[in-house]
């Protein structure tokens, strides 16, 4: 593991020892934009690096109240561009709030840098800061983890001065045509699941290659969990990122 700094952010790079890396994954951790990276994230990062034989770059982006979407998303996009300058293929990945940042950055790369990523992996992503999908009400009754009211407060703070449907904070609101392939994971006992389903429909209609993995009865970020379904999901993640 190596660590550097960019724009004041610690930037970690995790890669198999004594390996030659031609591919890079930039991974954005989740935590509702307020929680630090944790051991589950690092286990996934290590698993991806060793399993896919890639370098995984992990930016420790500023959390609320010190960072907002308008600050963080462009910096992540620029980090991807800088890693591309080494001649490496670069993918984005993220879970939960990190999934929002990853997809928003992929959109910004398409629009401002004319870059189409070979793969973006989204694990239970936050896709719409408004949480206005009417199906969330029924799902919340079965979700033991996330609460709409609390997540709305964090999301509004993360939005800052942006309008609610700005793609930098609500990527589901964006035009998706021209995005590179997406791999998305979601459990049905997750209040973010209705928006994941909406993303599948919208991406498919826009001609985007989307690879969707939904597991009935499972919770938010289940691919990070030490359960059989989590292990199966991690195997898919490794395979997709190895293939890019």
Tokens of 230: 């989590």
| Pair type for strands 55-59 and 9-14 | antiparallel
Helix and strand element counts for the chain (H, E): 7, 8
Rounded CA-CA distance 22/90 in Å is: 9
Rounded CA-CA distance 120/90 in Å is: 9
Write down how long the chain is: 244
| Pair type for strands 182-187 and 55-59 | unpaired
- Strand residues in 71-154 grouped as ranges (E): 89-95, 120-123
Rounded CA-CA distance 160/155 in Å is: 9
| Pair type for strands 55-59 and 23-28 | parallel
Q: Phi then psi for 185, rounded to 5 degrees?
A: -120, 140
Q: Which of 96, 104, 170, 186 is catalytic?
A: 96
CB-based contacts of 39, cutoff 8 Å, min separation 6 = none
| 96 catalytic residue (yes or no) | yes
Q: What is the Cα Rg of the chain in Å?
A: 16
Which active-site residues does the annotation give? 96
């Amino acid at each position: 593991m190596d660590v550097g700094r960019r724009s004041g952010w610690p930037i970690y790079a995790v890669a198999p020892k004594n390996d030659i890396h031609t591919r890079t994954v930039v991974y954005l951790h989740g935590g509702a934009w307020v929680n630090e990276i944790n051991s589950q994230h690092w286990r996934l990062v290590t698993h991806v690096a060793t399993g896919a034989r890639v370098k995984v770059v992990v930016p420790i982006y500023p959390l609320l109240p010190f960072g907002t979407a308008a600050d963080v998303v462009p910096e992540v996009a620029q980090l991807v561009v800088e890693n591309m300058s080494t001649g490496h293929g670069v993918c984005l990945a993220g879970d939960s709030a990190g999934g929002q940042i990853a997809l928003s950055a992929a959109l910004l790369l398409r629009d401002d840098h004319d870059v189409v990523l070979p793969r973006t992996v989204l694990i239970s992503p936050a896709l719409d800061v408004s949480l206005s999908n009417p199906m969330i009400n029924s799902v919340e009754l079965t979700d033991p983890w996330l609460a709409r009211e609390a997540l709305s407060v964090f999301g509004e703070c993360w939005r800052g001065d942006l309008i609610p449907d700005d793609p930098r904070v609500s990527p589901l609101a964006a035009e998706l045509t021209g995005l590179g392939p997406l791999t998305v994971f979601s459990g049905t006992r997750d209040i973010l699941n209705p928006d994941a389903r909406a993303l599948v429909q919208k991406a498919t209609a826009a001609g985007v290659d989307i690879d969707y993995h939904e597991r009935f009865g499972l919770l938010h970020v289940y691919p990070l969990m030490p359960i059989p379904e989590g292990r199966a999901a991690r195997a898919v993640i490794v395979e997709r990122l190895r293939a890019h």
